[in-house]
Amino acid sequence: MSFIEIKNVNKFYGNAQALFDVSINIEKGAFVTLLGPSGSGKTTLLKLLAGFEPLASGAIMMNGSDVSGVPTEKRNFGVVFQGYALFPHMSVFDNIAYPLRVRRMGRDEISKRVHAMLDLVQLSKFAKRKPSELSGGQQQRVALSRALVFNPDLLLLDEPMSALDKKLRVDLQEELREIHKTLGTTFINVTHDQEEAMHMSDCIAVMNNGRIEQFASAFDLYRRPTTRFVADFIGKSNLIEGEISEGKDKKGAMFKFDNIEFALPGTKHTGKVAFILRPEDACVNLEPAIDGRVSLQGTIHCSTYSGDRALYTVDLENKKQVIIYGTARTGIHADGTKVFVCFKAEESIILP
Ligand code: ADP
């Protein structure tokens, strides 16, 4: 039994279905992220977890009991939602103390807990300030403290960093990871930022059109995507549609797209597939490979240089384009250069 079990959840707004048969299991202490494009249903799922919205069917289980009908305030979940702004007239201390006062905790205990939280988020100096006297990042840390101070079973975060600039966002990501590590509370975070999700989470639920496409670690999403959407959404990839057939000489499987064909040893797939080539799994050479790697002829369409690497867009013989990273330590290939795109076919990702 998992700590949180989301079972076959459906949700409608009027006639429009926002979630379709969503099921995931979340282990205690995990940092889970719901990731997907705008409108994919991330916030809706988080709202169902928080109890802000009812579900149409299915169940949300916690420690084996159904909490779907339990009101928000009885769920003992911490929430950092956009709509849950800080109380502007209260000091930082009082904002964080608020959930403890609601729970009628004693003064000394409140003081002890609030100061421990302030310490954890490094805001001890600001206890007496009003939220308006803090930066955006500091306000987010107060909101986080207020959501964590009562030791919730689960912390729900709705795009807590979306309003911050890039540098602050990265800092807060680090801090959030540290806090998660220190407290061991189960975190469920919503973001549309793939980098943020991969950086912070133990497990990521990739959502698309109200469905879970894949629920897996960042590594598995990147190296072992199970759908075209995930392969395309997570990182850069070349998604080549083609067909696998037995080679003429019965030597093994061949992958063919248009007039281009190469051997694909060891594959269990046949028929129409997508061949996924990550840009870092190939290189661009002036000569074909002599070590058994596939070498496809092409022409550099354009190249960009970002210091640590070059990014080449290469026109293959059949006019299909692929993007490939180069090391660019000794220079970069000019546009129009005839090249070979070399890669180990057996290391690529195949989707039926
Ligand atoms: P995300 O968080 O991934 O951007 P949402 O969960 O907010 O997606 O929305 C999922 C779908 O539900 C969208 O099509 C959105 O327009 C719709 N939706 C969200 N909230 C409401 C609402 N209160 N009333 C009607 N439709 C809504």
Supply the pLDDT for residue 350: 93
Based on the domain organization, do 54 and 191 belong to the same domain?
Answer: yes
- What is the total count of domains within the chain? 2
Give the separation between CA 291 and CA 177, rounded to whole angstroms.
Answer: 43
Supply the pLDDT for residue 250: 60
Supply the pLDDT for residue 328: 76
User: Which structural domain, as residue segments, surrounds residue 340?
Assistant: 238-351
Based on the domain organization, do 62 and 141 belong to the same domain?
Answer: yes
Supply the pLDDT for residue 83: 67
Based on the domain organization, do 245 and 261 belong to the same domain?
Answer: yes
Based on the domain organization, do 166 and 271 belong to the same domain?
Answer: no
Q: CA nearest 26: which of 34, 16, 15, 18?
A: 34
Supply the pLDDT for residue 248: 63
Would you say 314 and 321 are in contact if contact means Cβ atoms under 8 Å apart?
yes
Q: Which of 194, 216, 233 is the last residue of a domain?
A: 233
Q: Judge if the beta carbon of residue 18 lies within 6 A of ligand 1.
A: yes
Give the separation between CA 240 and CA 316, rounded to whole angstroms.
Answer: 12
Q: Which of 189, 215, 233 is the last residue of a domain?
A: 233
Classified as helix, coil or strand, 43 is helix
The pTM of the full predicted model, rounded to 2 decimals, is 0.91
> How remote is the CA of residue 188 from the centroid of ligand 1, in Å?
18
Task: Write out residues in the chain with pLDDT < 50, as ranges.
Answer: none
Supply the pLDDT for residue 87: 94
Q: What is the CATH number of the domain that holds 329?
A: 2.40.50.140
> How remote is the CA of residue 9 from the centroid of ligand 1, in Å?
15
Q: Judge if the beta carbon of residue 43 lies within 6 A of ligand 1.
A: yes
Q: Which of 233, 264, 286 is the last residue of a domain?
A: 233
Supply the pLDDT for residue 169: 85
Based on the domain organization, do 87 and 157 belong to the same domain?
Answer: yes
Q: Whose CA is nearest to atom 25 of ligand 1?
A: 13
> How remote is the CA of residue 41 from the centroid of ligand 1, in Å?
6
Ligand 1, atom nearest to 45 Cα: 6
> How remote is the CA of residue 193 from the centroid of ligand 1, in Å?
18
Q: Whose CA is nearest to atom 5 of ligand 1?
A: 41
Phi-psi region at 64: left, alpha or beta (left = phi > 0; alpha = psi -120 to 50): left
Q: Which residues contact 341 (CB under 8 A, 6 or more apart)?
A: 282, 283, 284, 295, 296, 298, 314, 316, 322, 324
Based on the domain organization, do 154 and 225 belong to the same domain?
Answer: yes
